[in-house]
Amino acid sequence: MAVQIRRDGAVAVVTVDRPEALNALDTATKELLLGAVRELSGDDTVRAVVLTGAGDKAFVAGADIAEMKDMTSEQARQSAALGQAIMSAIEAAPQPWIAAVNGYALGGGCELALACDLRIAAENAKFGQPEIGLGITPGFGGTQRLVRVVGMGWARHLVLTGHHVRADVALRIGLVQAVVPRDELAAKARSLADELASRSPLAMRYCKAAVQAAGNVDLETGQGIERDLFALCFATEDQKEAMAAFLEKRAPEIKGR
């Protein structure tokens, strides 16, 4: 099984599990990953998801080069469509997705991490868009999402040189939000997921959608989306309960309604 889903309470951990190929994404793995995203998106008991890679060396070392090498243009197009569908499905998922980057996140692997809402890395993690060395461009959104996350300067550096950067550099340029020792990564990702899972899932979904919109629309349109989603929060029981709990100096009882 190349993709595992482990549910524990309100948190699901999705593991790309092909360590013999450094978790590279072949078609079968991509199909399983897309299935996992769709399954979890339809499960309202899951309030946060952690995405990671099996083994000690890699998160995901990119698209599977052995499979890609002899592809026809049509096969490449279908493969790109499948990859892009995964990234879009993660972005559209109702829950926050946290990439727990436990090693190499290269090419499609870096792009997969970029599609997640939050990224934390182990000290041994390495990031890069090495496609230039393979005679191709990044194709799962890397040239677009990367610019939005780290800015034009670093995106150009990563895409044009194909160089890998270490976790400390990834932190400095804003590619990840935290770096932790390797043996603390799973626990750190889990505690972050637990924290997000404890919040109103409706407000969480609206926050995710509003921030997402900022990357896609102009300021005026974005402010309209923000206004509407803000208003929608006031139709939820969770908003009334969370504000009452604050005023009464107690923990809120979040119901997801």
The pairing of strands 48-53 and 178-180 is unpaired
- Could you tell me the smallest distance in angstroms from the CB atom of residue 62 to ligand DAK? 3
CA 201, CA 49: separation in Å to the nearest integer? 13
Nearer to ligand DAK, 96 or 107 (CB): 107
Nearer to ligand DAK, 42 or 133 (CB): 133
Residue with tokens 């998922």: 93
CA 101, CA 62: separation in Å to the nearest integer? 13
Nearer to ligand DAK, 60 or 207 (CB): 60
- Could you tell me the smallest distance in angstroms from the CB atom of residue 126 to ligand DAK? 8
Q: Do the Cβ atoms of 40 and 93 come closer than 8 Å? A: yes
Catalytic residues: 111, 131
Nearer to ligand DAK, 83 or 252 (CB): 83
- Could you tell me the smallest distance in angstroms from the CB atom of residue 229 to ligand DAK? 31
What angle do the packed helices 201-214 and 219-233 form, to 10 degrees? 180
- Could you tell me the smallest distance in angstroms from the CB atom of residue 186 to ligand DAK? 21
CA 87, CA 110: separation in Å to the nearest integer? 11
CA 140, CA 203: separation in Å to the nearest integer? 28
Which parts of this chain interact with ligand DAK (CB under 6 A)?
A: 21-22, 24, 61-66, 80, 83, 104, 106-108, 130-131, 134, 136, 138-140
